[in-house]
Amino acid sequence: MLKEFKDFIMTGNVIDFAVAVILAGAIGAVINGFVDDIVMPIIGQLTGGVDFAQMKYVLSAAAGVEGEEGFKPENAIRYGAWINKIISLISVGLVLFFIVKAYNKSRGGAPEAGPSEVDLLTEIRDSLKK
């Protein structure tokens, strides 16, 4: 059983998958950093300095002093943080789109489609008639 597991783990597909997962995590961190540190400040500037993260609807205010007994934290609907996440999602999607588009362009585009099955069968039929 241990040998079977070793054979399974050492196959190319599993190793390729592991490398892909690790690279995806690293690329995700880079893209999220780009969006958080570069794109979001630009969006904030374009919207007049609005910090969406601070936008909220307070259901109940904080009571007491933080760190002391009886402290109740604020209960709020943080819709601004949700708006930030939506903008971040759109920005990440846009960055990934440009990365994939550049990658496909560097590969020379999509391969041309070959003849269809009907064309091949017609060609075989014509060859057999001769």
The verdict on residue 119 lying in a domain is no
110: CB partners within 8 A, 6+ apart: 104
DSSP 50-113: --GGG--EEEE--BS-TTSTT-B--EEE-HHHHHHHHHHHHHHHHHHHHHHHHHHHHTTSSPPP
Domain of 55 in residue numbering reads as: 2-63+70-109
The verdict on residue 125 lying in a domain is no
pLDDT at site 75: 92
pTM above 0.85, yes or no: no
The verdict on residue 96 lying in a domain is yes
How many folded domains does the chain comprise?
A: 1
74: CATH? 1.10.1200.120
Parts of the chain with a pLDDT under 50: none
pLDDT at site 59: 92
Mark 33-60 as b/e (b = at least 16 C-beta within 10 Å): eebeeebbeeebeeeeeeebeebeeeee
Per residue in 9-39, pLDDT tens? 777 677 778 888 888 888 888 888 887 888 8
The verdict on residue 56 lying in a domain is yes
